[in-house]
Amino acid sequence: MSNFAMFLAAMTAYFTLSGSQMAAAHDGIHVEDAYARVSGGNAKSAAVFMTLMSHSVEDDRLLSVTSDAADRAELHTHTLDSNGVMHMGEVTEGFPIVGEKAHMLDRGGDHIMLLGLKTGLKQGDIVTVTLKFERGEELVVEVPVDNDRKPGAAAHDMGRMEMPASN
């Protein structure tokens, strides 16, 4: 075997192994753009929002959430009744996470409620939540309190950035 052929074989093996290791490293659920909101410093509850990004081809399910910051943490959603009235309530069956798709936990939809806050939360505080998934994964997420966030505005959106004035 020529030196060039050996080099090509070695490079092919390296990239094949590196590719599978990279895929394994990114397999599972990743959390993006997490933030919490409270209605004031003495509030007894807070809502938590984020994007759950699946990097697996297999479906999963967010089964439950816990947090040391509250007496209870629950998965909630909003539903519209036959009279056109929105109701918020617990989702005991969890949230399905479709393989290789994103599941949004956002205002007016699926989200996490922290009930019975143990201390008052204010802008910039950090809340820790642990997400438990059907396939066995547990994710610990540090969530900043961001009461200034506008609905649908990710922290990196252009609307949240100060742009220099044009001449």
Contact 135, 118 (CB under 8 A): no
Q: Give the integer Cα–Cα distance in Å for 129 and 138.
A: 10
What tens digit of pLDDT does each residue of 92-142 get? Answer: 999 999 999 999 999 999 999 999 999 999 999 999 999 999 999 999 999
Q: Give the integer Cα–Cα distance in Å for 36 and 45.
A: 10
The predicted pLDDT at position 39 comes to 83
Q: Give the integer Cα–Cα distance in Å for 125 and 128.
A: 10
Structural domains in the chain, CATH included, are: 29-149 (2.60.40.1890)
20 has a pLDDT exceeding 50: no
Continuous segment of H or E residues that includes residue 129: strand 126-133
| Band (23; pLDDT cuts 50, 70, 90) | very low
Percent of the chain residues topping a pLDDT of 70: 75
10 has a pLDDT exceeding 90: no
Percent of the chain residues topping a pLDDT of 90: 68
What tens digit of pLDDT does each residue of 67-81 get? Answer: 999 999 999 999 989
Q: Give the integer Cα–Cα distance in Å for 60 and 95.
A: 9
The predicted pLDDT at position 148 comes to 93
SS3 assignment, position 109? coil
**Structure tokens of 149?**
């966030």
Type of residue at 141 = V
Mean pLDDT over 140-155 rounds to 83
Contacts of 31 (CB under 8 A, 6+ apart): 50, 51, 52, 53, 131, 139, 141
